[in-house]
Amino acid sequence: MSFKDKKFHILSVDDTETNRLVIEKMLRSEGFKVTSASNGMDAIALLSDVITPDLILLDIMMPEVNGYETCRIIKNAGKRMAEIPVIFLSAMNDLKDITNGFEVGGVDYITKPFQKVELLARINTHLKLKHYQDKEIELTQRELIYTIARITDVHSSETGNHIKRVSEYAKLLASLAGYDEEQAEVFKLAAAMHDIGKIGIPHEILNKPGKLTDEEYIKMKEHPAIGHKILSESQRPLLRAAAIVAYEHHEKFDGSGYPRGLKGKEIHILGRITALVDVFDALDTPRPYKQRWMINDTLQHIQKESGRHFDPRLVQLLVKNFKHFRKIRDNFPD
């Protein structure tokens, strides 16, 4: 979403009711969504599990926990909370007070009584900074993921747009299963890395034209564990999700899959979704050794495997909505 179209959410923390009302009114009239808190602890409670605003306006002189202390707690909390920019809004205008505000992690300090234009200009500046920073990180992350996935593709001579389709299918299926846009996006990017472990499998095995020997097949089956090992070193949520996908995309709903023989809901939803869309795409596209299946055969096969290879609920969603999956295939042909 572009900066202009986004409705930003601001948390305003002030112990004086009139101040809260003035700020709320002013920001709402500018199109912001506003939540108010009357003290530091309430603000932290809201931030912990109710809201993730885009910016915090923080008063300093408040009973019990003052603004500095509140800011310190916010900045030492998890990444989600710590990354929200904090602007101090205070009647204290000593250099010492202002310095202190920056030292505890504030991005700006505005003295009360404030000028409306000034406050709005500074809020906008910090929102913009944060917005473009986030965007840049997100884009870099996304491109790196596809770059890594393409390396595996080249190594295993995977054809065309398999990775792109599998990720789009995973996103679509996640949305159909009730996940919100942000979560579905995680499914999409994580699914792109499902076969990353193939990087550890010899090229000759991956590209052998004929049937694999038992020994080669055992080797091949190591790719989920290898992928998991590569990805699980990271603490980032997206890579952790990808590690699950890599590990579990060959598990089967009835427990007959590999590497761990997980069963039913023991298999993470990320694994269950990727397992289904990976096979769906494999059947639905031609490979060097086989023609593309007719769509009815593909759907029939998937239904036959409902409860065996695949999660029945997901099969139902895919079959019911296969026209939307079709559209994705048309957008990413080989």
Burial tier of 83 (Cβ tally within 10 Å: 0-12, 13-18, 19+)? middle
Nearest CB to Fe ion, comparing residues 168 and 278: 278
Closer residue to Fe ion, CB minimum distance, 28 or 287: 287
- Per CB under 5 A, the list member of 54, 278, 305, 311 interacting with Fe ion is 278
Q: Does 251 bind Fe ion (CB under 5 A)?
A: no
Decide if residue 195 touches Fe ion (CB under 5 A): yes
The answer to whether 307 touches 253, Cβ cutoff 8 Å, is yes
Query: Rounded CA gap, 247 and 231, in Å?
Result: 10
Shortest distance in whole angstroms from residue 318 CB to Fe ion: 16
Distance, CA of 88 to CA of 72 (rounded, Å): 12
Shortest gap between Cβ of 195 and Fe ion (angstroms)? 4
Which one of the spans 26-34, 82-90, 97-105, 188-196 is the region binding Fe ion (CB under 5 A)?
Answer: 188-196
Q: How many CB atoms lie within 10 A of CB 59?
A: 26
Output the smallest distance, CB 30 to Fe ion, in A: 48
Measured from the CB atom, is 36 or 274 closer to Fe ion? 274
User: Among the candidate windows 87-95, 119-127, 167-175, 193-201, which touches Fe ion by CB under 5 A?
Assistant: 193-201
Nearest of 8, 95, 94 to residue 57 by alpha carbon: 8
With CB under 5 A, what is the number of residues at the site for Fe ion?
2
Angle value at C-alpha 126, between 121 and 129, nearest 5 degrees: 125
CB of 214 to Fe ion, least distance (A): 18
- 304 is known as an active-site residue: no
Instruction: State the nearest-atom distance from the C-beta of 224 to Fe ion, in Å.
Output: 7
Q: How far is the CB of 178 from Fe ion (least distance, A)?
A: 24
Residue in this structure with the two tokens 């290898």, named with its chain if needed: 226
Contact 240, 282 (CB under 8 A): no
Applying CB under 5 A, which part among 40-48, 203-211, 273-281, 316-324 lies near Fe ion? 273-281
Nearer Cβ to Fe ion, position 185 or 278? 278
| 59 binds Fe ion per the rule CB under 5 A | no
Q: Cβ 152 to Fe ion, closest distance in Å? A: 10
Stretch binding Fe ion (CB under 5 A), from 103-111, 112-120, 195-203, 229-237: 195-203
Closest to Fe ion by CB, 160 or 237 = 160
From the candidates 164, 188, 198, 252, give the one annotated as an active-site residue: 198
What is the three-state SS of 126-181?
HHHHHHHHHHHHHHHHHHHHHHHHHHHHHHCCCCCCHHHHHHHHHHHHHHHCCCCH
Residue number with CB closer to Fe ion (251 or 278): 278
Contacts of 143 (CB under 8 A, 6+ apart): none
Separation between Cα atoms, residue 116 and residue 134, nearest integer Å: 27
Long-range contacts of 158-161 (CB under 8 A, 24+ apart): 158/195, 159/285, 159/287, 159/288, 159/334, 160/285, 160/332, 160/333, 160/334, 161/332, 161/333, 161/334
Torsion, Cα 9 13 18 21, to 10 degrees, reads 10
Bridge partners for 35 per DSSP: 11
Of 9-17, 101-109, 130-138, 194-202, which segment contacts Fe ion by CB under 5 A? 194-202
Kindly tell me which of 14 and 278 has the beta carbon lying closer to Fe ion. 278
Q: What are the residues binding Fe ion (CB under 5 A)?
A: 195, 278
Catalytic residues: 198
